[in-house]
Amino acid sequence: MGLFGKVKEWFSPKGNEQNNRGDEKLAPQGAPLPRIQIPSDEEFSQRGWIVGNWFNHANLTSILNVPDGWDEARMRLQKVAYEITRASHPQDQQDWYRQMAATFVQQDPLYLDSIDRIKDAIRESPGLIQSEIYKGRSDKEKEGARYILYYAEVLGDITREKSGRSYRLNLPAD
């Protein structure tokens, strides 16, 4: 199977979505999700941060508690990310959110199931272009790939260098 044939498997969970529904507050290995203090909407406002449809205390708390399963929590996390990256949101708010989201992603079964395979593929083909991964994929698969690759960079597992309208993927220098 060629490199691009393997790619489809990288972003497909190995049954974890259903397996984690019974005890969603636990990470795949059974460790509790790290505690993150989510300020109230009033505290967000006092910091000069914008409280919105997705960036608000109730939604952020719900994401971290994973009440409706990992797929739902991941979708909500991404909606907050799209809302908060607008120029109107202060940089410190964006930075706080990025750190909170990275803590969530480190426990996400989809990320945990995919990251080692992604790193192996990048080792095999350094400089792999991110948009090549999307070819022939559904919108949901593309969104999952974007999520994993973005946070893989935030967490230092890979590097992404802008290359035209896409990114060149590499492993970080040791």
pLDDT (tens place) for every residue of the chain, 174 residues total: 444 444 445 444 444 333 333 333 334 444 555 667 899 999 999 999 999 999 999 999 888 877 668 888 888 888 999 899 888 999 999 999 998 999 889 989 999 999 998 999 899 999 999 998 888 889 988 888 889 999 999 999 999 999 999 999 999 997
Q: 16 near 33, Cβ under 8 Å? A: no
Q: Classify domain 3-16+111-170 at the CATH topology level.
A: Arc Repressor Mutant, subunit A (1.10.10)
Stated pTM of the model: 0.75
**In which element (H, E) is residue 78 found?**
helix 70-84
CB 70 within 8 A of CB 19: no
How far does Cα 162 stand from its chain's mean position? 19
Q: Where are the domains of the chain?
A: 3-16+111-170, 35-105
Per-residue pLDDT tens over the stretch 140-159: 888 888 899 999 999 999 99
Closest CA to 44 of 78, 85, 87, 89: 89
Going 93 to 91 to 155 to 108, the CA torsion angle's sign is positive
Angstrom distance (rounded) from CA 50 to CA 53? 10
Burial of 85 (0-12, 13-18, 19+ CB in 10 A): exposed
Strands 166-170 and 128-129: antiparallel
